[in-house]
């Protein structure tokens, strides 16, 4: 427990919509050890962003969030209050987002945006905060950082802006960094640089990293552990090598069908499309959400609850037919 | 900033020239000004004498340059009706209009902006609903009716404030209420919608992810971007408050520019009308230019800064 940077049990997020309550996250368990990288993968709309946003406490007010257990950076947040989470944001946990062209405020200088959080939280003077901003910009590979502080975001390229966002996230020296598809909006060549940078910072600073991505090549090269999400639940969770070598959930198998071993999977390998569609998540769901698309599916798959198995230490899979799939 | 500023000022200058030419042209709108002055029943010789006396017999361009030249030195001609300098008449009236306009503007902003922000923070919340009622009623009730009603209720029934004239500051209370009431809806709506847009942006979310408390996120990140469209609208609104209060000035018997313009029109006192139109048009030019400059200081993208 002590070396757990993030430990969540039964996270649920539901959102009221015109058609009824959308149960977008339906009982997610996640944990990340100190200094480790967890990649969260899954089809579009399966609830990855909502999960990440719930962890940092930035969901819109109308979203209903519950957890059975929620611990982060050594603090128990199960009775999560906005005030306590707000204190941790930027200091214990930081987040970077998908589109760096819109995450920087166009009307404020880079320096102001980098320093405003820590000047408040750590009561740093302007000079101390600037010094740290320069250090961080330097660290993320922004040339001539001191001169950049007085500039506005619109002078920077997408890749540079994402570097600046990373620097901004690091300003409060967080222990956990959440990155929600941080390279999706960038050119392919820039994507590789940004991911290499994240990987390097993660090991240099001993960060725990929760990385949401669609790119299995990225997963193969930087994850320690992988969680595969499907329709608001974790279908399978495993150390990266095990997952690629022996996927145990039919959905994971489908994702990895064309893809071999870690290290050999080229970057830019998007999740392959699996025939069929995700069931609607408005209202209750009975049985396994994947069964309509699953080649292993049988009568039993319509039943609740779908059993979870631990086929090996550190592994988890939720499937009625786990034994059959593994065989 | 400097290239932006000089470009903007050049545009303003061109608009000024156009506007002044148009107000000069007003003199000829009603046909021959000499006949207008002599009266439609006047003799042809009188009209001719007036034409020479006022210089109407010269080429138009000369007349215009002459007129603009004197205007620049502060001479807007003589009032035909009072036979005193136009500047003197306007000078006596302008204070009332400026006071009324500016005070109403400040009151409107002070109510509309916080209300718009509060409404945006909780769309469909109770503040938002109240704001909507104010906005809708503000646009549905005619201003002369509201003016008369406030006079009846607060002036006549309760006797709390003077019902007409601007001899004391209390005389401004009712007209300011009525005028600002009409400026509030649009200002509030643009604040609200701008704020809702900005609150949904990624940079506001990123600011919250830094751990900034909500009030700082709102004032530092959201408001600054949300007021960009408000600034332009506010400039136009201020222009309207300063120029369009003919109805209110009449209802409350305030001797401001609006009333003067109306009276002068009825008296065919064209130099006065012309001067008022020129002054108000130039005021618009100044206000919109100021708004653009203010926006440029708020938004570095507009001034091409890096
Ligand atoms: N604010 C919201 N209001 C209503 N529905 C929402 C909201 N945010 C997310 N959803 C819905 O919740 C579901 C999960 O969304 P989420 O953004 O977590 O998906 P995701 O896994 O991150 O997908 P992607 O890979 O496309 O980013 C989707 O069906 C989405 O439409
Ligand atoms: Mg997402």
A155 touching chain B per CB within 8 A: yes
**pLDDT score recorded for residue A269:** 60
Q: Is A47 in the pocket of ligand 1 (CB under 6 A)?
A: yes
- What pairing do the DSSP bridges indicate for beta strands A308-309 and A4-17? unpaired
Of A152, A159, A224, give the one whose Cα is nearest residue A197.
Answer: A159
Question: What burial letters (b/e) apply to B189-203, b meaning 16+ CB within 10 Å?
Answer: bbbbbbbbebbebbb
End-to-end alpha carbon distance in chain B: 11
Of residues A13 and B149, more confidently modeled: A13
A317 touching chain B per CB within 8 A: no
Q: Kindly state the greatest CA–CA separation across chain A.
A: 67
Of B81, B84, B86, B66, give the one whose Cα is nearest residue B20.
Answer: B66
- Does a structural domain hold residue B236? yes
Ligand whose nearest atom lies closest to the CA of A59:
1
* Segment B196-224, tens digit of pLDDT: 999 999 999 999 999 999 999 999 999 99
- What pairing do the DSSP bridges indicate for beta strands A20-33 and A4-17? antiparallel
- Tell me the angle at which helices B173-199 and B143-150 cross, rounded to the nearest 10 degrees: 130
- Does a structural domain hold residue B110? yes
Six-digit token pair at A1? 């427990």
Distance B200 CA to ligand 1 centre (A): 15
Residues of chain A positioned with their CB less than 8 A from the CB of B225: 105-107
**pLDDT score recorded for residue A109:** 95
Task: Tell me the pLDDT of chain B averaged across its residues.
Answer: 87
**pLDDT score recorded for residue A204:** 94
Q: Which residues 1-60 in chain A show a CB within 8 A of chain B?
A: 56, 58
What is chain A's length? 327
Q: A86 vs chain B: nearest CA distance in angstroms?
A: 5
Rounded Cα gap, residues B295 and A132, in angstroms: 31
- Does a structural domain hold residue B224? yes
Mean pLDDT of B226-242: 92
Question: How wide is the angle at C-alpha B179 spanned by C-alphas B176 and B185, nearest 5°?
Answer: 125
Are residues A251 and A319 in contact, defined by beta-carbon separation less than 8 angstroms?
no
Are residues B276 and B260 in contact, defined by beta-carbon separation less than 8 angstroms?
yes
Identify the burial level of B7 via C-beta atoms within 10 angstroms of its C-beta, where 0-12 means exposed, 13-18 middle and 19 or more buried. Answer: exposed
Q: What is the gyration radius of the CA atoms in chain A, in angstroms?
A: 20
B202 touching chain A per CB within 8 A: yes
Name the H helices within A2-109: 48-56, 82-88
Rounded Cα gap, residues B120 and B200, in angstroms: 11
Strand (E) or helix (H) holding A225: strand A225-230
Of B271, B268, B295, give the one whose Cα is nearest residue B38.
Answer: B268
Q: A257 vs chain B: nearest CA distance in angstroms?
A: 35
The number of folded domains in chain B is 1
A314 touching chain B per CB within 8 A: no
**pLDDT score recorded for residue A1:** 45
Question: How wide is the angle at C-alpha B140 spanned by C-alphas B139 and B144, nearest 5°?
Answer: 90
Q: How many CA atoms lie within 13 A of B279 on its CB side?
A: 23
Minimum CA distance residue for ligand 1 atom 6:
A15
**pLDDT score recorded for residue B306:** 47
Q: Is A232 in the pocket of ligand 1 (CB under 6 A)?
A: no
- Does a structural domain hold residue B23? no
Interface test with B, best of A72, A103, A164 (most B CBs within 10 A): A103
pTM: predicted TM-score of the whole model, two decimal places: 0.84
Q: B221 vs chain A: nearest CA distance in angstroms?
A: 7
Rounded Cα gap, residues A283 and B103, in angstroms: 55
Are residues B273 and B87 in contact, defined by beta-carbon separation less than 8 angstroms?
no
Each as own residue / partner, the long-range contacts of residues A271-275 (CB below 8 Å, 24 or more positions apart, any chain) are: A271/A41, A271/A42, A271/A43, A271/A214, A271/A216, A274/A43
**pLDDT score recorded for residue A212:** 97
Of residues B286 and B303, more confidently modeled: B286
Nearest CA in chain B to A169: B210
Q: A158 vs chain B: nearest CA distance in angstroms?
A: 15
Interface test with A, best of B198, B209, B224 (most A CBs within 10 A): B209
Write the DSSP string, A50-73.
Answer: HHHHHHHT-S-TTSEEE-SEEEET
Q: How far is CA B224 from the centre of its chain?
A: 24
Rounded Cα gap, residues A125 and B172, in angstroms: 48
Instruction: Tell me the torsion sign for CA atoms B181, B185, B191, B196.
Output: positive
Are residues A92 and A20 in contact, defined by beta-carbon separation less than 8 angstroms?
no
- Does a structural domain hold residue B72? no
- What pairing do the DSSP bridges indicate for beta strands A64-66 and A4-17? antiparallel
Ligand whose nearest atom lies closest to the CA of A25:
1
Q: Which atom from ligand 1 is nearest to the alpha carbon of A48?
A: 21
A151 touching chain B per CB within 8 A: yes
Instruction: Tell me the torsion sign for CA atoms B132, B133, B134, B140.
Output: positive
Q: What is the mean pLDDT of each run of 10 residues along chain A (327 residues)?
A: 84 94 95 96 93 94 93 88 86 94 94 95 95 96 95 93 96 96 90 94 95 91 95 96 93 77 58 76 89 89 90 92 83
A168 touching chain B per CB within 8 A: yes
- Does a structural domain hold residue B99? yes
**pLDDT score recorded for residue A265:** 57
Q: Which atom from ligand 1 is nearest to the alpha carbon of A53?
A: 18
* Segment B85-112, tens digit of pLDDT: 999 999 989 988 999 999 999 999 999 9
Q: Is A24 in the pocket of ligand 1 (CB under 6 A)?
A: yes
Are residues B78 and B84 in contact, defined by beta-carbon separation less than 8 angstroms?
yes
Q: Is A15 in the pocket of ligand 1 (CB under 6 A)?
A: yes
**pLDDT score recorded for residue A54:** 95
Q: Which atom from ligand 1 is nearest to the alpha carbon of A214?
A: 25
Neighbours of B170 (CB within 10 A): 12
B59 touching chain A per CB within 8 A: no
Residues of chain B positioned with their CB less than 8 A from the CB of A102: 201-203
Are residues A257 and A304 in contact, defined by beta-carbon separation less than 8 angstroms?
no
Closest CB to B209: pick one of A90, A116, A154. Answer: A90
Contact A120 B203 (CB under 8 A): no
Torsion angle of C-alpha atoms B83, B85, B88, B89, degrees rounded to 10: 50
Q: Has residue B305 got a pLDDT over 70?
A: no
Q: Is A60 in the pocket of ligand 1 (CB under 6 A)?
A: yes
Query: Given ligand 1 and candidates A17, A47, A183, which is best to mutate, with the most ligand atoms within 8 Å of its CB?
Result: A47
Distance B126 CA to ligand 2 centre (A): 32
Six-digit token pair at B234? 């506010």
B215 touching chain A per CB within 8 A: no
- Does a structural domain hold residue B30? no
Each as own residue / partner, the long-range contacts of residues B68-72 (CB below 8 Å, 24 or more positions apart, any chain) are: B68/B20, B68/B24, B71/B20, B71/B275, B71/B278
Residue B246's CATH number = 1.10.3720.10
Q: How many CA atoms lie within 13 A of A210 on its CB side?
A: 32
Q: A155 vs chain B: nearest CA distance in angstroms?
A: 5
Residue range of the domain that includes B102: 86-298
Ligand whose nearest atom lies closest to the CA of A214:
1
Give the three-state DSSP class for A82: helix
B223 touching chain A per CB within 8 A: no
- Does a structural domain hold residue B182? yes
Give the three-state DSSP class for A38: strand
Neighbours of B145 (CB within 10 A): 11
């Amino acid at each position: 427990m002590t070396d757990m940077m993030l430990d969540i049990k039964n996270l649920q997020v539901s959102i009221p919509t015109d058609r009824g309550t959308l149960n977008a996250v339906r009982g997610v368990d996640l944990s990340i050890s100190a200094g480790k990288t967890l990649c969260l993968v899954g089809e579009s709309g399966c609830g990855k962003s909502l999960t990440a946003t719930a962890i940092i406490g930035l969901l819109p007010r109308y979203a209903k969030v519950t957890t059975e257990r929620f611990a982060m950076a050594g603090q128990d947040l199960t009775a999560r209050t906005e005030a306590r989470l707000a204190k941790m944001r930027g200091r214990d946990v930081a987040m970077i987002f998908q589109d760096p062209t819109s995450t920087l405020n166009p009307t404020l200088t880079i320096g102001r945006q980098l320093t405003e959080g820590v000047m408040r939280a750590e009561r740093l003077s302007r000079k101390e905060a600037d010094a740290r901003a320069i250090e961080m910009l330097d660290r993320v590979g922004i040339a001539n950082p001191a001169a950049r502080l007085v500039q506005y975001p619109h002078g920077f390229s997408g890749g540079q802006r994402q570097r600046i966002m990373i620097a901004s996230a690091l300003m409060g020296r967080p222990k956990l960094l959440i990155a929600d598809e941080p390279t999706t909006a960038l050119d392919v060549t820039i994507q590789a640089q940004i991911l290499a940078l994240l990987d390097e910072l993660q090991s240099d600073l001993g960060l725990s990293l929760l990385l949401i991505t669609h790119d299995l090549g990225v997963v193969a090269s930087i994850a320690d552990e992988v969680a595969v999400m499907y329709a608001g639940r974790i279908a399978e969770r495993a150390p990266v090598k095990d997952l690629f070598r022996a996927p145990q959930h039919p959905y994971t198998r489908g994702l990895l069908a064309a893809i071999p071993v870690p290290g050999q999977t080229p970057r830019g390998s998007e999740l392959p499309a699996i025939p069929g569609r995700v069931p609607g998540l408005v209202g209750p769901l009975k049985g396994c959400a994947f069964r309509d698309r699953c080649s292993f599916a049988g009568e039993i798959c319509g039943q609740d609850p779908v059993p979870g198995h631990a086929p090996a230490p550190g592994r988890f899979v939720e499937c009625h037919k786990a034994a059959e799939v593994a065989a | 900033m400097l290239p932006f500023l000089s470009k903007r000022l050049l545009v303003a200058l061109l608009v000024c020239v156009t506007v002044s030419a148009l107000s000069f042209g007003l003199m000829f709108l009603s046909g021959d000004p000499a006949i207008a002055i002599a009266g439609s029943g006047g003799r042809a010789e009188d009209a001719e004498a007036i034409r020479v006396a006022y210089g109407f017999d010269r080429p138009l361009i000369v007349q215009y340059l002459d007129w603009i030249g004197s205007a620049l030195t502060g001479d807007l001609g003589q009032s035909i009706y009072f036979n005193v300098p136009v500047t003197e008449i306007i000078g006596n009236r302008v204070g009332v209009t400026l006071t009324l306009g500016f005070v109403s503007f400040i009151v409107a902003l002070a109510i509309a902006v916080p209300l718009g922000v509060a409404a945006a923070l909780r769309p469909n919340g109770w503040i938002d609903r109240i704001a909507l009622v104010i906005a809708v009623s503000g646009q549905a009730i005619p201003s002369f009716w509201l003016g008369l009603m406030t006079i009846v209720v607060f002036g006549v029934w309760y006797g709390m404030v003077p019902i007409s004239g601007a001899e004391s500051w209390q005389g401004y209370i009712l007209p300011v209420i009525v005028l600002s009431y009409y400026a509030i809806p649009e200002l509030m709506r643009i604040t609200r919608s701008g704020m809702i847009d900005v609150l949904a942006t990624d940079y506001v979310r990123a600011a919250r992810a830094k751990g900034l408390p909500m009030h700082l996120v709102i004032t530092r990140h959201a408001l600054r971007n949300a007021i960009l469209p408000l600034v332009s609208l506010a400039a136009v609104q201020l222009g309207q408050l300063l120029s369009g209060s003919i109805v209110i000035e009449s209802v409350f018997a305030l001797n401001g520019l609006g009333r003067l313009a109306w009276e002068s029109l009825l008296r065919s006192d064209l130099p006065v009308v012309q001067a008022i139109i020129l002054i108000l048009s130039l005021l618009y030019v100044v206000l919109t230019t100021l708004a653009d400059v203010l926006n440029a200081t708020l938004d570095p993208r507009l001034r091409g800064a890096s």
